[in-house]
Structure 1
Amino acid sequence: MKLIIAFFLTLSLYAAEMQNDKNLDLDVLKPKHDRAKVAMNNWLDGNFGLKPYKTNYILPYGIQENKYDSFTSDDYINVEAELQVSFKLQVAKDFFNLDERYFFSYTHRAFWQIYTESSPFRETNYSPEVFVVIPINDESIFKLRSVQLAYAHTSNGQGESHDKTLYTYHYQDPLNQSRSLNMLYAKLTFQHDTLVTDLEVIHRMKENIENDDNPSILYYIGFAELKLNYFLGDHMMTLKGRLSPYSEKGSVEYTHSYPAINDTYFYLKVFSGYGESLIDYDKHISKASFGFSFSR
């Protein structure tokens, strides 16, 4: 895992340095006053490198069929808020003359029991990624538009919390709340008119079985994902399915967004299956949430 991260970092930084050298050669030809104006306008307009990655949203109201009971000691109700912040940063491009782009990304997702007396955050998931997107101009019947190759880490930030004196393996301890997943994935994106289809295949990186908090996680959340993104006028609808062929478990998620004002959208999300959050990856949840999104 460390070697993969180091490879992406080295490759991205080297390509970024090459791009910076090109930009510097052009910048020295411009008057300093012009460069100052460009820098000032970028600062005033907020034109920085961070861009939305996954959907950014705040869902003040989400309800599921039953109470959240991952841990019986927690007095959680079946109504809560949910929010997600996700951004990406392009660090380099065109290293192999394929017009490919290299990114870092971070996604922060929180489940907030805002309607209880103490209003705790029930679960928080942290997901950094490094990935490369290779554009494809496929004019065949398949209409392949891009290939994305990535390394991703997801965890709930709980750290090691099991009792080694009682349990050899982390996952055996019923009080262990730590969950994590390190994986490689490949995603193919196809476009047919206003329908964009994403097909993703996941490979989990091996961990020491004694330290693995959730060895069966992919048997619940699935090894592959199919997502349909359909645009109809101002509406955007998505349907996402995940499946594990070994256990026949997985999930289905539907979202619908419509412009509200400026860059804000009404946002509906319906989920049914496993893996809504890391802490509940092996619990079947059916849930509907409503609120606002700030990107699509």
Structure 2
Amino acid sequence: MASNMSEPQVAASVSTSVPVEVVSCKNPAATPLSRFWELEPASDCGTFGIRGYRPISLSVIGSDSVNTAPSSPAAGHTASFQPYTTTETRIQLSVRTKVAQGLLTGGDPNRLDSLWFAYSQQSYWQLFNADLSRPFRATDHEPELTYIFPLESALPSGWRLRYGGVSLNHQSNGQSLPLSRSWNRVIARAGLELGNTVAINASLWQRLPEDASSDDNPDIEDMVGRAEVAAAWNLNPSNTLALTLRHSLKGEGNGSVRLGWLYKIGSAGNRSDRSSLRFHTELFSGYGDSLMDYNRRRTVLSVGLTLLDW
């Protein structure tokens, strides 16, 4: 589903009749988090292959408002008015590759650590705004380097802590003044799951300091947040609910909430339970739906098609 540069959706359909001896890339006998991050040799897909990261999606959206004159507290960062409309399309692309593995777990038959490089891009396209010649209103670029270390810690009620990790993340809209927005973060990550049913990814980040003269958005953490919890719940093999919460942890307690539903479409060969195509609908409310909107609160409803990690 359209995650707006948030945590990757790792929910996957539950396989009901899989022989336990299967050992392969994306092993269906493994749990969703193990398949997604290749946490063990049995779910290893090797290095330098191309995989999905955040959902690849195409959505039609409607919002209660649109940012017609983006601004930030930084000097020279207030744009002139543009007659944007509240109905538009959103396109998200996101891919990754594993560049190294077994850095600290070499020889371990049950665990496999990994280093990943990912690139995500999200664009808001004013497709229905013929009067303005259908421009792209905003495009965000987000390269990321992530190290994942597998964990196997039993928690109460059947939960398991599955991994810890750290990321270096850059996000920018690639614009010049007055529209330029960007920031760099170090992100601490952890993931836990309850069998094949629920997966939770938690992130806590620290923005890397910038010189005040070059900081496009000095208050971005106070608006978008400093922490995120993303949960995916597989109701059955065809339906998944997803919830993402962000919070600033300081000040006025700004952030956002995103609630989505995904429904499986089609089949993958003879394995209809492994299809990666989904219909999605999603409701977002808060700050940071795009980098340009980091300090503008809005509510957005979207519907469309999503391709999860293939």
What TM-score range do you get, normalising by the shorter chain?
0.7 to 0.9
1:91 aligns with 2:87: no
Distance across 2 between alignment mates of 1:198 and 1:121: 31
TM-score normalised over the length of structure 1? 0.76
Distance across 2 between alignment mates of 1:215 and 1:58: 31
Q: Deviations over 1:195-234 (max 9, x none)?
A: 1111110110000011100010000011111111100111
Q: Deviations over 1:155-182 (max 9, x none)?
A: 00013x2xxxxxxxxxxxxxx1100010
Number of residue pairs matched by the alignment: 234
State the 1:261 CA deviation. 2.0
Q: Which amino acid aligns with 1:177?
A: L
- Asked if 1 retains the 8 angstrom alpha-carbon contact of 2:263 and 2:278, the reply is yes
Q: Which amino acid aligns with 2:242?
A: T
Q: Deviations over 1:135-165 (max 9, x none)?
A: 1111232510111210000000013x2xxxx
- Bigger relative contact order, structure 1 or 2 (CA pairs below 8 A, ≥6 apart): 2
Q: Which amino acid aligns with 1:239?
A: L
260-269 vs 49-58, which deviates more? 260-269
Residue number in structure 1 paired with 2:261: 256
For residue 94 of structure 2, give the secondary structure of its aligned residue in structure 1: strand
1:241 aligns with 2:245: yes
Moved over 6 A (4+): none
State the 1:95 CA deviation. 1.1
For residue 152 of structure 2, give the secondary structure of its aligned residue in structure 1: coil
State the 1:99 CA deviation. 2.1
Gaps of 5+ in 2: 1-46, 71-78, 106-110, 268-275
Residue number in structure 2 paired with 1:157: 174
1:207 aligns with 2:210: yes
TM-score normalised over the length of structure 2? 0.73
For residue 279 of structure 1, give the secondary structure of its aligned residue in structure 2: helix
Distance across 2 between alignment mates of 1:115 and 1:155: 25
The correspondence of residues 143-154 of structure 1 with structure 2, limited to 5 A, is 143-154=160-171
Aligned-pair identity (%): 27
Higher helix proportion (structure 1 or 2): 1
1:128 aligns with 2:136: no
Distance across 2 between alignment mates of 1:82 and 1:67: 13
For residue 138 of structure 1, give the secondary structure of its aligned residue in structure 2: strand
Distance across 2 between alignment mates of 1:220 and 1:53: 25
State the 1:187 CA deviation. 1.1
Q: Which amino acid aligns with 1:147?
A: G
Distance across 2 between alignment mates of 1:205 and 1:286: 29
Residue number in structure 2 paired with 1:183: 185
Distance across 1 between alignment mates of 2:246 and 2:64: 21
Q: Which amino acid aligns with 1:275?
A: G
Distance across 2 between alignment mates of 1:254 and 1:80: 19
- Asked if 2 retains the 8 angstrom alpha-carbon contact of 1:243 and 1:250, the reply is yes
Distance across 1 between alignment mates of 2:65 and 2:221: 24
- Asked if 2 retains the 8 angstrom alpha-carbon contact of 1:68 and 1:77, the reply is no
- Asked if 2 retains the 8 angstrom alpha-carbon contact of 1:221 and 1:243, the reply is yes
- Asked if 2 retains the 8 angstrom alpha-carbon contact of 1:237 and 1:254, the reply is yes
Residue number in structure 1 paired with 2:65: 66
Gaps of 5+ in 1: 1-46, 162-175
Distance across 2 between alignment mates of 1:179 and 1:68: 14
| Cα RMSD (Å) | 1.5
Residue number in structure 2 paired with 1:294: 307
Q: Which amino acid aligns with 2:87?
A: V
Please identify the structure whose Cα radius of gyration is greater: 1
